[in-house]
Amino acid sequence: MSNDLYTTLMGNTTVSYTGFLLPVLAALSLGIVFAMAYMYRARRSRSFIATLAILPAVVCVVIMAVNGNIGAGVAVAGTFSLVRFRSAPGTAKEITAIFIAMAGGLLCGMGLLIYAAIFILIMSFVLVLYSMIGFGEEDNSRRKSLRIAVPENVDYGKEFDDVFAKYTTSHRLISAKTAGMGSVFKLSYDITLKDDSSEKALIDALRCRNGNLEIQMSIVMPRENEEL
C-alpha cells in the first residue's frame, strides 16, 4: 500500500500518512494543553473550551491543504476563527485565546512542531501565571453599588456627604429618578467603603437620614467581559 495520502491535482506534491497525522496530533495535543490553561480561574463556556482545543488542528489542516501558501491559509483560518463572534461579541481574553490557538496550529501546519510546542507552553504558562497573581485585576472587595430612596423634600445633593465622608473613601452619584408620583427620589451611588465591617453602620446612618425608606447595597461585579 502506498504511503502517500494524496497527490495534488496541480502538481506532484505528496503528503504521507505520517506527515499528515503527526502535525494534526501535535496540534490537538497543544490545543488541549492551552484549553486547560485557559480554564484556570476563568469563566468559560463548555463549547468555547472545546472549540479552543480543536482549533489548532483545524488551522493545521488548512495550512497543509493550501500546500504551503501561508497567505491563503491564514486568510481562511482567520475567517473560520471569527465565525463564533458573528452573533455574540467576543471578549478581549477570548479573542486573544483564539489567536494564540491559531498561531499554534499555523506552526504545526508548517511542520514547526518544536516551535509550536514552545510557543503554546510559554503562552499557557503566562496565562496561568497572570491568573494566579491577579494581573490587571481591580480590588473590588470594598466597592459597592448603593441605592437609596429619599423623600422629595430632602436635598440629596448634600444630605449624605458627612455620612459618606465617615464611612467611605469615595462616593459618586450615578443616577437619580423619581418614583411614587414624584414623592420619592431613588438614588444610585458608586461607593468604596473604608472598612468591610462598616457596611451595616453605613446603612444604619443612612436610614436616619432618609426616613427609614428603602436602602439596597450590592457588590460591583468585576469587568471581565470587555469587548473588542
CATH number at residue 193: 3.30.70.240
- On whether both 39 and 125 belong to a single domain, the answer is yes
CA 152 remoteness from chain centre: 42
> Which range in 8-12, 17-21, 111-115 is most confidently predicted, on average pLDDT?
111-115
Q: What SS3 class is residue 179?
A: strand
pLDDT grade for 8, boundaries at 50, 70 and 90: very low
Whether the predicted pLDDT of 161 surpasses 80:
yes
CA 119 remoteness from chain centre: 21
- On whether both 98 and 164 belong to a single domain, the answer is no
Residue-number span of the structural domain to which 150 is assigned? 143-219
Whether the predicted pLDDT of 100 surpasses 50:
yes
- On whether both 100 and 187 belong to a single domain, the answer is no
Whether the predicted pLDDT of 85 surpasses 70:
no
What is the count of structural domains for the chain? 2
Flag the least confident range among 50-54, 168-172, 195-199.
195-199
Single-letter residue type at 68:
G
pLDDT, tens only, 32-84:
999 999 988 777 778 888 888 998 998 888 788 776 566 665 666 566 655 55
90 located within any domain: yes
The confidence score (pLDDT) of residue 10 equals: 43
Last residue of a domain, one of 79, 103, 133: 133
Mean of per-residue pLDDT scores for the chain: 80
- On whether both 185 and 115 belong to a single domain, the answer is no
Last residue of a domain, one of 103, 133, 163: 133
